[in-house]
Amino acid sequence: MAQSDLREVSGKDDRIRARRLRETQNIFARLPATYAASRKQGQQILKRAAGLSIVEWRTLWDLAEVGPLTIRELALIQRTDHSLLSRALPDMRRKGLVEMRRDEEDGRQTIVELTTAGREAFDQAAPFMKRRREAMRAQFTPDELALFASFLDRFDDFLSQPIDDFLNEESAE
C-alpha cells in the first residue's frame, strides 16, 4: 500500500472515531441501539427461563399483577399500540397462556385472562427477570434510576409535541 493510501485510511479512521464520539451525545441515535440491546438481553433471558417472547412476558406479568384486562388496558400499561397485542394474543391463546372473551358490558372489547399454564410460565420466568432488574439496580442508585425515568418522561413529552411547535423554515437547514 502506498504512503498516500495509508494517510487516506488513517484520516478516514480518525474521522470515523470523531464521528462516533460525537454520536455518543446523539440521543436519537443512542436510544434505538439501547432499546435493541435491552430487548436482545430480555429475549435471551426469557428464552432460557420459559421459552417466552418479550410481548408474552409483559402480558403475563401485567395479567398476574392486575388480573383480567382488556387489550386496550394492556396496551396502555405497556405503552404500546393495541394492534401489536392483538396480533400476539391469538398465538398466546393457542399456547394455552391466556383466555380471551368478549366483554359482557362492552362487546367491542376483548377481556384477556391468565390461564393456569400462563401463570406457570410467568412463575417460571419471574425469578430470572427479577434477577435482571436487581442486576440493573446494582449499577445505579435509586435516585439515578428515578432521574433516568424522569428524563424518559420528558423525552416522551417532547416526542408527543406537534412537530410544528419546533420545526419551521428557518430551523430546517
**In the chain, how many domains are there?**
1
Q: Is position 9 within any domain?
A: no
Can you give the pLDDT at residue 107?
Answer: 79
pTM of the model as a whole: 0.81
Q: Is residue 171 part of a domain?
A: no
Residue 126 lies in a domain: yes
110-114 sheet: strands from edge to edge? 69-70, 110-114, 98-102
Instruction: Give the least confident one: 46-55, 100-109, 117-126.
Output: 100-109
Pick from 12-21, 110-119, 139-148: least confident: 12-21
Domain span at 117: 42-132
**pLDDT of 137:** 96
Q: Is residue 142 part of a domain?
A: no
> Is the model's pLDDT at 8 over the cut of 70?
no
The answer to the question of residue 75 being in a domain is: yes
Structure-model confidence comparison of residues 13 and 173, the more confident one = 13
Report residue 128 as a C-alpha cell: 430470572
Whether 77 is covered by a domain: the verdict is yes
In 140-163, alpha helices (H): 142-160
Q: In a 3-state reduction of DSSP, which class is residue 70?
A: strand
Q: Is the dihedral of CA 34, 35, 36, 38 positive or negative?
A: positive
Q: Is the pLDDT of residue 4 over 70?
A: no
**pLDDT confidence of residue 2:** 59
- Answer yes or no: is 103 within a domain: yes
Query: CATH number of the domain that 97 lies in?
Result: 1.10.10.10
Angle ∠(108,59,70) on CA atoms, nearest 5:
20
The answer to whether residue 148 is domain-embedded is no
List helix spans (H) across 24-115: 27-50, 54-66, 71-78, 82-94
C-alpha cell at 111: 377481556
